[in-house]
Amino acid sequence: MLKPINAGPINAAQAVVGNVERAPSVRWALAGLSLSMLLSSLGISIANVALPTLAQAFDASFQDVQWIVLAYLLAITTLIVSVGRLGDIAGRRRLLLAGLFLFTAASVLCGVAPTLWLLIAARVAQGLGAAIMMALTMAVVGETVPKARTGSAMGLLGTMSAIGTALGPSLGGLLIAGAGWRAIFLVNVPLGLLAVVLAYRYLPADRREPRTARAGFDVVGTLLLALALGAYALAMTIGHGNFGPLNMALLVAATFGAGFFVLVEARVASPLIRLAAFRNALLSASLAMNALVATVMMATLVVGPFYLSRALGLNAAVVGIVMSIGPVISALSGVPAGRIVDRFGAPFMVIVGLIEMAVGSIALSVLPTMFGIAGYIVAIAILTPGYQLFQAANNSVVMADIRPDQRGVISGLLNLSRNLGLITGASVMGAVFAFASVAIDITTAGSEAVAAGMRITFAVAAILIIVALAIAAGGRALAARSSLPGGAS
């Protein structure tokens, strides 16, 4: 950038003062964003441990109380892209503050809900707040943190997400034992208020644009996408592993909804998602890889407990301890992964992270059978840092060079691809595990059958990561070709 002709010592001094003042502001802004990511992740995991208590408290079936978890996940999955786009239009800081306030207020409603269905309704509202927090946290990073530190910031957000996921079951158990189930929702209130204060005080103000320059909000596209995603999520989750006629009908509805959505987006003046964006080879590759990687990581959460309890004969307490090792490693490796990405470059570290994940998946297929619990822990210790490295690098690649007015919707797409991967992983990889175990009921399968299921499931996981590696290589090749003179734009 050219300097003004009369720029002198006064301007230089002002720049130095500005940098000194900005450094603490960036740190406090990152603290607010980190707390936002922590709370949205904590909301996913903390309710699971309370389901037996809630079933007893409301005299409800297990299938009914599962909607406390499902309602939150469905709200996030169906709305995360839409709220990202709304943030691009209405202002990301403004909408993030609204999302934090909604999440906090809904947490109060969850904590005082007198009936199960009012609790589920409050969880839908809490999920909407969490969708805004997840979609806009990464988008705001691009406006808050210098580009050279984007990888470190993404690594920090990944760490906070992992801490929220890891902390949920243990914190929830302690709160239920000490103060009852309502405390697992009310604990969000002081943390949410702190996040609101930090975001209001330290996040950069939204840019003011002339009213004529603002794009409209695609209401029809938003409704179609929400219906398609909701139908898909329900198809993958209801039935508890049994894919029946209702699941098939929902999957067909999701397919038709997605088709109508594409038709609408090609015709409206201000589309929710610009379909031309998917011509960007790096973006399309990153979203596909994100979904595949999330599918594999969900397999560890679905298959791991059955293997540890049924094949290795561990009791519930030891299974819980072993299952917490992955999230703990993830939390510890997030920030270092971000720094590595900043040092060696995001595109290269995407490949490195995927290679490490492929090795970890193969290790999960082989080592537990050979060395028992030690082999399982070693394999998880290989897989998890690779996942954090991939996440920090992939998010940095996507968010680095996109247009400012698209940051919210692209961040939403990243989170959506991850959520769809998690939902698909829970259903599809769970089905692979059950099929490979050759058991009518996996909860009563013998140790040899479960061990065989483990081997085959993570062999399939390794294949998925190899597919992701091929996508990464293909995306980079297409991007390089399009950047050459005469290449595709």
Residue 40 has what pLDDT? 87
Picking from 241, 36, 41, the residue whose alpha carbon sits closest to that of residue 139 is: 36
Sign of dihedral through CA atoms 336, 337, 340, 341? negative
Residue 213 has what pLDDT? 47
Query: Could you report how far apart the first and last alpha carbons of the chain are, in Å?
Result: 26
* Structural contact between residues 60 and 116, judged by C-beta atoms closer than 8 angstroms: yes
Buried b (16+ CB within 10 A) or exposed e, 308-333: bbbbbebeeeebbebbebbbebbbbb
The DSSP code for 484 is: S
Distances in whole angstroms, Cα of residue 257 to Cα of each of 217, 262, 415 = 19, 9, 20
Query: Per residue in 354-387, pLDDT tens?
Result: 999 999 999 999 999 899 899 999 999 999 999 9
The DSSP code for 115 is: S
Q: What is the mean pLDDT of each run of 10 residues along the chain (489 residues)?
A: 42 39 68 88 78 82 74 81 78 88 95 92 93 83 70 76 74 82 92 91 71 62 81 72 79 90 81 73 87 88 79 77 80 83 88 95 93 92 92 83 70 80 78 75 70 91 95 80 54
Residue 21 has what pLDDT? 41
Residue 461 has what pLDDT? 94
Q: Indicate the pTM of the whole model.
A: 0.72
Q: What helix, strand, coil percent values describe the chain, rounded to 5?
A: 85, 0, 15
